[in-house]
Amino acid sequence: MKKLSLIPFLIIVFAISTPSFAQEAKTTGPEKGSLVVVGGGRMDESIVKRFIELAGGVDAPIVVIPTASGSDSFTQNSGGARALREYGATNVTVIHTRDRSEADSDTFIEPLKKAKGVFFGGGRQWRLVDAYAGTKTETAFWKVLEKGGVIGGSSAGATIQGSYLARGDTRTNQTMMGDHEEGFGFIKNIAIDQHSIARNRHFDMFDILKNRPELLGISIDESTAIVVQGNEFEVIGKSYVIMYDGTFWSREGSDLKNLPSSESLFYFLRSGDKYSLTERRIID
């Protein structure tokens, strides 16, 4: 009796059951809604106005979450609420807790049920994880996007929007891979850093990427933001965004440049530039 080889069968099973590296490494934005990811510092007027516009205008209900800050108490002007009001927002509510049982209550999330926009203030991003990850509050954030709303955040409020939590160490913000490594993941397969040029953080992202090379790295400078819709983003604001995707791009080309290896490459984007997250390239 002729013996049949199992090798083709095993190859087929392996191909079906094991996702490709490309699929595992795919970076994607939210299916619905928008994100405004701000690199910290004073928010440029264009950033605040775009966030308000994406929320539905000056009368849209907006919830501000200042929990990343180390303060023990907050006012209704905390966490970016003052800036939103200065540029015309009339319906801004600040909510905060460090009690996970409260964050998991229907009473606490009541303002989020009506919200068209959510904004995370600065501080330390791991505090947002400790307070809200896995609670009804985190679920409510996602529902804002599902309804076509906008989620924004500055500094810590930028990093928390990624899937990998850069600088998530409770001891120091200088450690890129710390004791908290998972963000809310509004953007998948990405690590987001902030204050990049103002604090000379150009090379810090490589600490993550040498251990997690499948991630897209992005570092946003102060007074600058990316506006994410679907799987694309546009840069707005005064400064630059640094991209770490293993390639190099320049407006003047790169044929005559003496570039380092792909593991050490990065490049800058400025206001008006657009980028495809899934394809990891500039949109012409």
| Three-state secondary structure string covering 23-44 | HHCCCECCCCCEEEEECCCCCC
DSSP, res 264: G
CATH 3.40.50.880 given to domain 33-283: yes
Q: Which are the contacts of 149, defined by CB distance < 8 A and separation ≥ 6? A: 33, 34, 54, 55, 56, 115, 116, 117, 118
In whole angstroms, what is the distance from residue 31 CA to residue 102 CA? Answer: 29
Q: Which residue has the higher pLDDT, 71 or 120?
A: 120
What is the number of other CB atoms lying within 10 angstroms of the CB of residue 153? Answer: 33
Q: How far apart are CA 217 and CA 205, in angstroms?
A: 7
The residue length of the chain stands at 284
Give me the pLDDT at residue 24, please.
Answer: 55
Q: What is the pLDDT of residue 22?
A: 40
pLDDT of residue 284: 85
Position 25, amino acid:
A
Confidence of residue 173 (pLDDT cuts 50, 70, 90): very high
pLDDT band at 150 (very low <50, low <70, confident <90, very high): very high
Q: Quick one: average pLDDT of 107-132?
A: 98
Convert the pLDDT of each residue in 225-260 to its tens digit. Answer: 999 999 999 999 999 999 999 999 999 998 899 999
Q: What is the pLDDT of residue 41?
A: 96
pLDDT of residue 266: 97
State the pLDDT at residue 9. 40
pTM listed for this prediction: 0.91
Q: Kindly indicate the confidence band of residue 72, based on its pLDDT and cuts at 50, 70 and 90.
A: confident
| CA distances for 68 relative to 136, 153, 154, 215, angstroms | 18, 10, 10, 24
